[in-house]
Chains A and B, each alone.
Chain A
Amino acid sequence: MPYKILDKKELAMNEVMYKIHAPHVAKKVQPGQFVIVRAFPNGERIPLTPVTWDREEGWITLITFVRGKTTMRMANELKPGDEILNVAGPLGNPAPMEKFGRVLAIGLITGIVEVFPIARAWQEIGNDVTTLHVTPNPMIILKEDFENAVSRHIVEGFDLQPGWGMNEIAQELVKRATAKVRELLENEHFDMVLTVGPAGAQKAIFNVVKEFGIPMHADLHPIMVDATGMCGACRVTVGGEVKFACIDGPGFDAYKVDWDELIHRTGFYAPLERLALEHYLKQLQAQGGEQ
């Protein structure tokens, strides 16, 4: 069942927004839920989060971080007016909608896109929400949207140095995020923390939050295939029990998550992911490059 791309924009370096006609999702989606997208006939299924939506007009927006074959191929090959083959959802459980009080909602790099619908809804129901976006400077997105939606939006940006790879970016991300979170928690009172982003950085933030004893809700990003609870690829250990993030999550109590296991599992396909990307880059080269 193809879904039309109504609009596509490069919001920042490697950050691409797609506005997609998907009325079945738009009608039902709640903050915290996600969709599974398959863009090409020989493509894989990837989880993405609706950032905004219009129930009446029947569209959702998705923002992808161009980090591997599928997201790069989408960025290169899809144009407004084209169709995405499959958009399944909404999937997962909505984020809890409660009056926590003062909330610190943290998005790491593109994780901020998942924070947006949750933070906005929390603010709307009467929470005092501070959002924090930690990211390389060329990847700052949704700044104005956040400024209009929540009490306070902080951007902790950092410059990319020549020669940095993913590892160096991840290290800097963790350094900046933990320092900023520590500073905020030392100087202000918060009742709840939310994080979305790479498992390693989420774990590092959790270790800081734990010192202050503040409740923390983490949206997890394990590998997913069907995302309807039928395969268990996304299984995580929470409170000593095996949970499937797609139907039991994706949000969990950060104090109960087995972070090291999640980090191991998320990285399992890294070599094959690199191979897929290399294969695609070679194909592009054969076709005469990206232009």
Chain B
Amino acid sequence: MPRRKLIKERVPTPERPPEERIKDFKEVNLGYTFELAVREAERCLQCPYEYAPCIKGCPVHINIPGFISKLVEYRNDPDKAVKEALNVIWACNSLPATTGRVCPQEDQCEMNCVMGKVGDKINIGKLERFVADYAREKGIDEELLFEIIPKIEKKGQKVAIIGAGPAGLTAAGELAKLGYDVTIYEALHEPGGVLMYGIPEFRLPKEIVHKEIEKLRKLGVRILTDHVVGKTVTIEELLQEYDAVFIGSGAGTPRLVNAPGINLNGIYTANEFLTRVNLMKAYLFPEYDTPVYVGKKVIVIGAGNTAMDAARSARRFGAEVTIAYRRGEEDVSAREEEVEHAKEEGIKFVYFVNPVEFIGDENGKVKAVKFEKMRPLEERDARGKRKIVGTGEYITLEADTVIIAIGKHPNRLIINTPGLKVERGKIVVDENMMTSIPGVFAGGDAIRGEATVILAMGDGRKAAKAIHEYLTKKRQEKANA
């Protein structure tokens, strides 16, 4: 490998200024141009494939130095560079425009990047995003797709996928590429799961999700929307029609604060608030028919990514927004970039407060939240976070809108399937991602509880491999019989 000069500082990506971006739902980060992407790509030390810690950190094990090197190698031919890079990414990840935007890279691929020892880590996420965006804008992804499609050898076996979120879409893409006849059953009117209803436009434009899903349709994946598995059709019925089933139904049931007044008007779960805003485009009301009520003072309870998304969305309606968290600043679980963006956009943070009562007015509308002040202990819980205890002191904050973002459970409609082993609300799978029902596999938040988009995609990919093995055995048994 040629010796090259170390460039310690990361090439920045342009961002829209806070005062401008809080007035709309357009994307905050504008991404790299080809020139900037090549400059960032040149910083990569090109660790060998077997060793590269970034690849190990990526849940779907994208050959990161591999795709980055293409940008440098073909720097004089941007289209060629992007096509080659996309080809490397697609081997492991069908939704790079999405993951490049929403993955917590600092905890995954970028976490162990060697460059971090001498300077800034390589901006892997933004490079992945650049490749996907440029390819989409130039139609390079289509070109590549049409080269892949004729090479697919049909297997003649059918797989049903429950849920069109990141896990289901990934499994579907992998299985379609392997030649299986794939049908996704989706309860909502749009595929995408949390990518459509949860993550706001200013982080992940819905147009991009649409286009990434369109690619899967071109690979032959059939998507049945409006089908609620457990109601429209049961898993037992799917097993009669399909050779295997994958459950990627996510963790869509919101957890509620167990405190008096939770059903007052103006108190939303983050899921309801974000679904209205993102999926139903309530921010364009009355051009869009779905309303949403956002008051002048909004309190968001929780400090995960969902809380940041809800807070920043509410801010875009012109509200004064406060995030109230029962632990401290160091315990916040949201991505650093999102917390930074939230602060830049003027969102306030209050730490060590736990809601104990929602106070309403005479019309049943919330007007304040009473919190108990908490304090941290030295002792840590299973996730390594400091335990907290109440102090017996209270504080009341005014609010005319409250958004609860304290987590989610897997959907009850699915986990009530007879014969499906479930522990603490999560579907139990073996090392091959198979559930207690033979031929039924599961992954993503349905088995993990609330996790990340990329972990769900990693599960989808792993399950697709396991399903492939399972169905290959089935084919062989049939041939031998």
Contacts and interface: CB of A to CB of B under 8 A. Distances in A.
A88 B189 contact: yes
B189 A85 contact: yes
A50 interface: no
Given A89-B232, A90-B231, A279 B286 contact: yes
Chain A interface residue bracket vs B: 35 or more
A95 B411 CA distance: 22
Contacts of B253: 229-230
A89 B291 contact: no
B364 interface: yes
Contacts of A202: none
A272 B364 contact: no
Among B262, B271, B284, B411, the one with the most A-chain Cβ atoms within 10 Å of its Cβ is: B271
Among A42, A236, A260, A261, the one with the most B-chain Cβ atoms within 10 Å of its Cβ is: A42
B226 A44 contact: no
Contacts of A79: none
A228 B293 contact: no
Contact of B263 (A86, A90, A230, A261): A261
A232 B263 CA distance: 10
Given A24-B233, A25-B232, A247-B413, A225 B263 contact: no
Given A70-B289, A264-B265, A265-B265, A86 B272 contact: no
Given A230-B411, A265-B265, A42 B289 contact: yes
Contacts of A1: 224-226
A99 B391 CA distance: 55
A247 B286 CA distance: 29
Given A45-B280, A89-B226, A225-B276, A28 B232 contact: yes
B275 A231 contact: yes
B187 interface: yes
Contacts of A268: 265-266, 293, 365
B227 interface: yes
Interface residues of B, number: 44
A226 B187 contact: yes
Contact of A45 (B189, B224, B268, B363): B189
B285 A272 contact: yes
Interface string A250-291: 000000001011001100110011011001100000000000
A44 B289 contact: yes
Nearest to B229: A228
B53 interface: no
Contacts of A239: none
B263 A235 contact: yes
A184 interface: no
Interface in A27-45: 28, 33, 36, 38, 40, 42-45
Nearest to A93: B231
B333 interface: no
Given A86-B189, A229-B412, A279-B286, A269 B225 contact: no
Contacts of B269: 231-232
B256 interface: yes
A91 interface: yes
Contacts of A279: 286
Contacts of B51: none
Contacts of A276: 285-286, 289, 291
Interface in B263-304: 263-266, 268-269, 271-272, 275-276, 280-281, 284-291, 293
A237 B256 CA distance: 13
Given A91-B228, A230-B252, A231-B269, A269 B293 contact: yes
A117 to B, nearest CB: 16
A75 B199 CA distance: 34
B225 A229 contact: no
Nearest to A38: B189
Contacts of A13: none
B364 A261 contact: yes
25 contacts: A33-B231, A42-B284, A42-B288, A45-B280, A88-B188, A89-B232, A91-B231, A225-B275, A225-B290, A226-B187, A228-B252, A228-B413, A229-B412, A230-B252, A231-B275, A232-B256, A235-B263, A236-B263, A237-B263, A264-B264, A265-B364, A268-B266, A275-B291, A276-B286, A280-B286
Interface of B: 187-189, 197, 224-228, 231-233, 252-254, 256, 262-266, 268-269, 271-272, 275-276, 280-281, 284-291, 293, 363-365, 411-413
A-B pairs, 4 with minimum CB distance: A264-B364, A230-B252, A231-B272, A272-B291
